[in-house]
Structures are given as structure tokens and as C-alpha cells.
Structure 1
């Protein structure tokens, strides 16, 4: 039987919070890792998942660490455009 998740996020949702909710809701972490491994980005990111407790509430914190390799622009660069 298929399960359906409905997200009502009128002001948006952070990607790491969404991943944490999906994993906490039953999506196996291994399935997520295997699915993401099919993308041509294998060496570009790392997922770290940990259980956190804050003010009596438990949740999963997902950290997506991305290799940082893009060029930064500073205000003078932007003003020159």
C-alpha cells in the first residue's frame, strides 16, 4: 500500500528540515543515500544525520555538506556589472 505525505508549507521549508522529516517519517536513510548516489554528484556532498533534543522535543538534524567551489562576487564586482 502506498503512503502519501502532504506538506503544507505556505512560507517554505528548509531542505535539511524536509529531509529530516522524511527520514523520521519512515523513508530509510539507506534508500535516500542509494537514490542520491545515482546522481553524478557522488564526491560533491556528504549527508550527516543525528538525533537532537531541543526543549523536550526530539527530531533528526540532517546536515548536507557540499564541496564549495564556486566563485564569490563582492559588491564592487556586482556594481561593475
Structure 2
């Protein structure tokens, strides 16, 4: 493991919102890496952790959260789209 560093509070909050919304699969390596970065910072990741961060976590963090939550909700309902999605 790498070094522990001060974690940006906005990044920590965003990661927690993504986790709470269920946008990272349970028991996935991406979820574990996201939790590690929220707790100990990006510097705590080894090379494999950085790869997982870039491939699995960063794409989720870079998209608007409200849109991802709406899409995840639609997928959980088996593809049913309500008449109007309000944010």
C-alpha cells in the first residue's frame, strides 16, 4: 500500500454519495478502492488500485450523479421508464 494523505472533503462526500446510491457494484474491487480513497486518499493506492480507480471508479465519479441515479433506478425496474423523471 502507498502512503496515507489528507483526503479532500468534497471528494470524500462525492464518493460516499456514489456508494450510497449503489452506483458501484457490491463486493466489487471498484467499491473497495473507492472506500480506500475516501478513507486514506489516492496516495494510498498501489499500481493495481490506481488501475481500478481509473477504469471502474473515475468514470462513475465523472458523470452527473443525478443522471446516474435515474438510470440505475430505471434499470432496477427492469427498464420501465416513468412518464417524467424529476430531479
TM-score class normalised by the smaller sequence? under 0.3
TM-score by length of 2: 0.24
Name the one with the larger strand percent.
1
TM-score by length of 1: 0.26
Structure with more contact order per residue of length (Cα contacts < 8 Å, sep ≥ 6): 2
